Amino acid sequence: NAGVTQTPKFQVLKTGQSMTLQCAQDMNHEYMSWYRQDPGMGLRLIHYSVGAGITDQGEVPNGYNVSRSTTEDFPLRLLSAAPSQTSVYFCASSSNRGGAKNIQYFGAGTRLSVL
C-alpha cells in the first residue's frame, strides 16, 4: 500500500517558471491538502479539498492553484515561481468519514528551490 505519493522529490526552478507538484493517494480518502514548510518553521496550509470537484483556500494560497478531478489526485500548480516559494511542500490525505478527518497521512515531501 503506497499511501500518499508525491513527485518529484526535488525540483529547482528559475523565477517565473511554472510547474505542477503531483500528489496521489490510494486510500480512497476524501480529504486532501497541501502544506508548505519553510526551514525551522511549522506547516502552513496552502489549499485543501473535501472531495472531487471541491477545493478551498488555506492560510497561504497566493501564487498556487489546485484542482481535484479525481478522488486519488490533488496536484498543486505554481503559476509563476518566486524565490519566496522556496520551501518543502507536503501533501496529506485523510478520511472524511467516521471521525478520522484529523488523522492525516503525509507524503514524503517535495523540496523546491526557486532561483
Partner 1 sequence: LAKTTQPISMDSYEGQEVNITCSHNNIATNDYITWYQQFPSQGPRFIIQGYKTKVTNEVASLFIPADRKSSTLSLPRVSLSDTAVYYCLVGDDSGGGADGLTFGKGTHLIIQP
- Compute the distance between CA of residue 114 and CA of residue 40 in angstroms, rounded to an integer: 18
**How big is the site for partner 1, counted in residues (CB under 8 A)?**
31
Residue with smaller CB distance to partner 1, 10 or 14:
10
Binder to partner 1 among 70, 84, 97, 115 (CB under 8 A)?
A: 97
Burial (CB < 10 A; 0-12, 13-18, 19+), residue 48, is buried
Q: How far is the CB of 33 from partner 1 (least distance, A)?
A: 6
Judged by beta carbon, residue 26 or residue 56, the one nearer partner 1 is 56
Residues shown for the chain: 115
Whose Cβ is closer to partner 1: residue 17's or residue 37's?
A: 37
Q: Is 106 in the site for partner 1 (CB under 8 A)?
A: yes
Binders of partner 1 among residues 24 to 63 (CB under 8 A) are 33, 35, 41-45, 48, 50, 56-59
CB 69 within 8 A of CB 97: no
Q: Which is nearer to partner 1, 77 or 101 (CB)?
A: 101
Give the list of residues 6+ apart from residue 5 with CB closer than 8 angstroms, or none: 22, 23, 24, 25, 26, 107
How far, rounded to the nearest angstrom, does the alpha carbon of residue 23 sit from its chain's CA centroid? 7
Output DSSP code: residue 83: G
User: Residues in the site for partner 1, rule: CB under 8 A?
Assistant: 4, 33, 35, 41-45, 48, 50, 56-59, 90, 92, 94, 96-109
